[in-house]
Amino acid sequence: MFTHLYDRTLSLSRQRRTALAILLGALSALALPPWYFVPLVIPSFAGLLWLLDAAAQSPRPRRAAFVTAWLFGAGHFVVGVHWIVEPFLVNAARHGWLIPFALAGMAGGLALFPALAGLVTALLTRRFALAGVARALTFAALWVLLEWVRSWLFTGFPWNLMGYVWAATPEVMQAAAFAGIFGISLLTVVAGAMPAVLGSGSGRGMSSVVAVLLFTVAMPAAIWAGGAMRLDSAPVYDPNDTTAMVPGVRLRLVQANIPQRQKWQPQLRAGHLQRHIALSQQASSNPPTHVIWPETAAPFFLASDAVVRAAVATAVPRDGVLITGAPRRSSETGDAQFWNAAHGITGDSQIVASYDKAHLVPFGEYVPLRGVLPLDKLVPGQGDFTAGAGRQTIAFPGLPSVSPLICYEAIFPGAAARSDDRPGWLLNLTNDAWFGTFAGPQQHFAIASTRAVEEGLPLVRAANTGISAIVDPYGRPVAMLGLGVEGVIDSGLPRALEAATPFARWGNAIPAGLLAMVTLLIVLLRVGQSPPGRVTGDSP
């Protein structure tokens, strides 16, 4: 059957190969949150490798390989990040015309990373006569290497890394504590690509079947079993049981569910603030010690507005602290600077600690090359935001030290907390109303929750329209409010793991080591091959 499908793929016309590449890319995105059709990684990546074989037969094989993988990537990212249109709909009269350019530009630009993986795979295949298992491993290693490049190039956008297909499978996600999300991505792409060896001429034999059983079945099963054992020995974090919680801490997360179209309307801002205050003051049999509001929940410059700060202070628990997101501006005259900040406020309306967002969203909070591009940022207000000083561990009274993460700062693996000043928890304040009501917020929550597993730290997440949650250091939600719900979460704060995880200590050096091991395996497999014959395909 595999041989027949492989031969059919090679005989497809160029138009049908184009359509198939886009379709396979779209299917691969459906393995990610919020769909989680994980088995689709197998036909997607195995099919892409077969299409690269077909590209090798074209008169210009390098160009064909690049285009084929780019089409796959375009289909993948159009489906995976289709929510990018949502911010442009908030003020459609002003920004709606940009929607086609935003979606095409985002998907097309991100597709360059799969395109490079396909091109380099084709080049190495031709240069070193790679085949079978070695070729599948080469492609997987390149895919993950370019995911890592995507995480920092042009400020980075590590959204929907392939490892997140397991975000709804906590057993597999435990591997993030050791190898990070890039390590899980490597596992995923290897498992998806390996069945491609069953169709190609060099892979039609029992050794190919063994390779598929090992890499596609046994390896993920072993990772799952190891994660299940880890979870079996993990404590149970009950929001109302203090056994595994930080003593003396009772959190209240406020989710006011304010639509983005209304959030910054001047005549509504006071009402939005009052809604947060009213939710914070709801009676409870077990009153909170600390209240947490989302990103920019207070749509005023709290640091310089004593009147509004006094109003916020009415929602502060007795002898406690309220943590809220709010914009901040410099007190200097002339060209003011603006920050996206988080403040801790006490009952006497004093700000006791603050954090300024360090990793800003391009075109959302600032415009790159502002002097060249005739565009304005999506977030209301004059001028660009200024980046903060960087990752910090700060302390609020009555709480363990914390690493604040505002909005999409939580998507960067290895950058959630300082390894030299380990906090007791992660705090993610966000306004996912920008991302719509479906895939975007769910993907963001899955991504942010992975930071808890990697760091061995609980994650407290307050989101304007959802998903707000308290996540334990194993990545499991302890309490949660879904999308589009107004309400509060009352819960204790889970304890951090006593010892830092291997990933928290070594960061992305661990997945880099895994890539080096895969590279060594490829070399060993190549050395063990018989002398290569000529690879199909003419020079471009």
Catalytic residue set: 295, 357, 407
Peptide bond into 84 cis (omega under 30): no
3-state secondary structure of 96: helix
Residues 219/187, Cβ–Cβ less than 8 Å: yes
Neighbours of 225 (CB within 10 A): 12
Spatial strand order of the sheet with 338-346 comes to 351-356, 338-346, 321-329, 290-292, 251-255, 487-491
Buried b (16+ CB within 10 A) or exposed e, 54-79: bbbebeebbebbbbbbbbbbbbbbbb
CA 41 to each of CA 3, 209, 339, 344, 531: distance values in angstroms, whole numbers, following the listed order: 19, 18, 41, 44, 32
What is the per-residue DSSP string for 236-253? P--TT--TTB-TT--EEE
Judging by DSSP bridges, how do beta strands 351-356 and 402-406 pair with one another? unpaired
Peptide bond into 34 cis (omega under 30): yes
Instruction: Give the residues across from 59 on adjacent strands.
Output: none
Distance CA 131, CA 526 (A): 8
Task: Provide the 8-state DSSP code for 33.
Answer: T
Q: Which two tokens stand for residue 294?
A: 């989302």
Residues 496/462, Cβ–Cβ less than 8 Å: no
3-state secondary structure of 90: helix
Distance CA 7, CA 262 (A): 56
Residues 312/324, Cβ–Cβ less than 8 Å: yes
Distance CA 116, CA 112 (A): 6
Question: Helices 112-128 & 132-150, crossing angle to 10 degrees?
Answer: 150
Q: Which two tokens stand for residue 454?
A: 């990697």
Residues 323/427, Cβ–Cβ less than 8 Å: yes
Neighbours of 315 (CB within 10 A): 22
Distance CA 400, CA 495 (A): 9
Question: Helices 14-29 & 61-80, crossing angle to 10 degrees?
Answer: 40
3-state secondary structure of 4: helix
In the block, residue with structure tokens 């200097």: 332
Residues 399/321, Cβ–Cβ less than 8 Å: yes
Judging by DSSP bridges, how do beta strands 290-292 and 251-255 pair with one another? parallel
Amino acid identity of residue 76, one-letter, is H
